[in-house]
Structure 1
Amino acid sequence: MDLGLQGRTALVTGADSGIGLATVKLLLAEGATVVMSDIDQQALEAAATTLDAQEGRLHAFAADITSTSSVKALKEQVFDAVGEIDILVQGAGIHGPDGLFHEIDEEGWQQTLDVNLMGHVRVLQAFLSDLRSGGWGRLVFVSSEDAVQPYDDELPYCASKAAILSVARGLSRTYAKEGLLVNTVSPAFIATPMTDEMMDKLAKQRSISRDEAIQAFLEEERPFMELGRRGEPEEVAAVITFLCSDRASFVNGANYRVDSGAVATI
């Protein structure tokens, strides 16, 4: 299927691994020029070496999305390298602290919201003029199943992801008439470095292997994931790439759940 991405230019944040990196790979395969960004330049460059891209179609610039000055510097680097962007995929994020509400301090809340909510706000403030300027734009936020099905020991993360759904829905009403379509993708328990860390922590607590920890987590914490496994980053990236494309020309303000049935509601 031709997704109509030849000649389009995308910026993907959170791109040095997991869902972000898989999305970069698919966008490149569909003919887009892609700028990948994350907080560590060395990690970005290492990730870039794993990708197959024609010269000039892949760029990697580090940025700290908790810093307005760093995001402004990213905007300048992107413009110098590729000009204005047509597509923004916001995948950067952290899990934040685990624990019940009374066990998490203000700093834990603030850090999580600063990355997962305000980080996206800063990036969008810097690049919104690009997305509005050409009469065709795509903005995709990576949220989470936790946004609509919160867990009592992950509330900062859940709240930050729910906020993203609200922001995206509001933006979708504001800019659609200008040709900018805004949507979200909400994965559940994908095989990424973030969930690897979670599973390694659980494995250590229980003196079991990572694979055993994954199965225990699925059975105890995610019983509605009917496929009985973690998702793959490529399975999420496929949906994101579709939403970035001409094929999604009538999709706006939607939240696509890529969760194996994890959310126990229609």
Structure 2
Amino acid sequence: MDLGIKGRVAVVTGGDSGMGYKTAEMLLQEGVKVVLTDIDEAQVQAAAKTLATFGEVKAVAADLSGQAGADTLAAFANAAFDAKPTILVNAAGITGASGDFLDIDDAGWLEALQTDLMPAVRTARAFIPGMRKAGWGRVVLFSSEDAVQPYVEELPYAAAKAGVMNLAKGLSKAYGPDGVLVNAVAPAFIATPMTDAQMDKKAKEKGVSFDEAIEQTLDEERPGIVAKRRGKAEEVAAMVLFLCSDRASFITGSFVRVDGGSVMTVGG
């Protein structure tokens, strides 16, 4: 299937591992030029070096929890190739402060907003003007199942990801008439370094193996996942790739769940 995006330039945040990395890989395989970014200079450059076997990729370290990092990314991305970015995939984010709601202070909440909501705001603000000028753009923001099915120990993260979902809808209304399509994806329990760390922690706390920690999580916290496994990064990336393509030209303002059935309601 020709996705109609060969030769375009994409910016992928959170791209040194997991779902961001796999999305970058698939974009490169479709002939898209990629600007890769993440917070750690060594890791993002190493990722770009590996991805270079698939196509043209350049990398820059940027901390998107502050405006300075977003400015660094925008300046680099706009000068990286002979064309300006018309695809943005914002996959950056962390779980952040977790635990009992009453024990999480303002700093924990603000960290969640700065790392899980504001990077989407800042990158969209940086790259949508160029997309409007080009008359074509694709923005895919990473939300989460938590946005519509919050887990009580992750309320700051859940609230921030609900904000991302709302942001995508609002941006789709504002800039759809200019040819800029904006959607959000909602992964659930994907095999990434983030969930690896969560399972490592749970295994140590429960005195069980890593695999047993996954099984317990599926049984106790994710009973809706009918495949009874964690998802794969490439399964999420495939959906992101489609939403970035010309084939998705009538899809905007959508909240696409890639969750194996984890969310157990029709709405959301």
TM-score normalized with structure 1 length: 0.97
Give the aligned partner of residue 102 of structure 1: 102
1:1-266 to 2 correspondence within 5 Å?
1-53=1-53, 57-82=56-81, 83-266=83-266
- Distance, in Å, in 1 between the alignment partners of 2:72 and 2:256 is 32
How well do the aligned residues superpose, as a CA RMSD in angstroms? 1.1
- Distance, in Å, in 2 between the alignment partners of 1:54 and 1:211 is 32
- Distance, in Å, in 2 between the alignment partners of 1:30 and 1:59 is 16
How big is the shift at 1:103? 1.5
- Distance, in Å, in 2 between the alignment partners of 1:79 and 1:221 is 43
> Which one is further off, 43-52 or 227-236?
43-52
- Distance, in Å, in 1 between the alignment partners of 2:14 and 2:168 is 18
Per-residue Cα deviation, 1:203-248 (whole angstroms, up to 9, x for no partner)? 0001111111000100000000000000000000000000000000
Count of aligned pairs: 265
Aligned partner of residue 211 in structure 2, secondary structure: helix
- Distance, in Å, in 2 between the alignment partners of 1:212 and 1:171 is 41
Is this contact kept in 1: 2:25–2:54, CA < 8 A?
no
Give, as a single letter, the amino acid of the residue that structure 1 aligns with 2:193: P
Is this contact kept in 1: 2:144–2:187, CA < 8 A?
yes
> Which one is further off, 124-133 or 147-156?
124-133
Aligned partner of residue 194 in structure 1, secondary structure: helix
Is this contact kept in 2: 1:28–1:53, CA < 8 A?
no
Aligned partner of residue 86 in structure 1, secondary structure: strand
How big is the shift at 1:80? 1.7
Is this contact kept in 1: 2:187–2:258, CA < 8 A?
yes
Per-residue Cα deviation, 1:112-165 (whole angstroms, up to 9, x for no partner)? 111111122112222221121111100000110000001111100000000001
How big is the shift at 1:54? 6.2
- Distance, in Å, in 2 between the alignment partners of 1:8 and 1:88 is 11
How big is the shift at 1:52? 4.3
Give, as a single letter, the amino acid of the residue that structure 2 aligns with 1:171: L
Give, as a single letter, the amino acid of the residue that structure 2 aligns with 1:142: F
Give, as a single letter, the amino acid of the residue that structure 1 aligns with 2:214: I
Identity of aligned residues (%): 51
Distance 1:129 1:53, change over 3 A: farther
Give, as a single letter, the amino acid of the residue that structure 2 aligns with 1:96: G
Give, as a single letter, the amino acid of the residue that structure 2 aligns with 1:80: A
- Distance, in Å, in 2 between the alignment partners of 1:261 and 1:30 is 29
TM-score normalized with structure 2 length: 0.96
How big is the shift at 1:70? 2.2
- Distance, in Å, in 2 between the alignment partners of 1:80 and 1:136 is 19
> Which one is further off, 84-93 or 72-81?
72-81
- Distance, in Å, in 2 between the alignment partners of 1:42 and 1:214 is 30
- Distance, in Å, in 1 between the alignment partners of 2:222 and 2:255 is 20
Structure 1, gaps ≥5 residues long: none
> Which one is further off, 58-67 or 231-240?
58-67
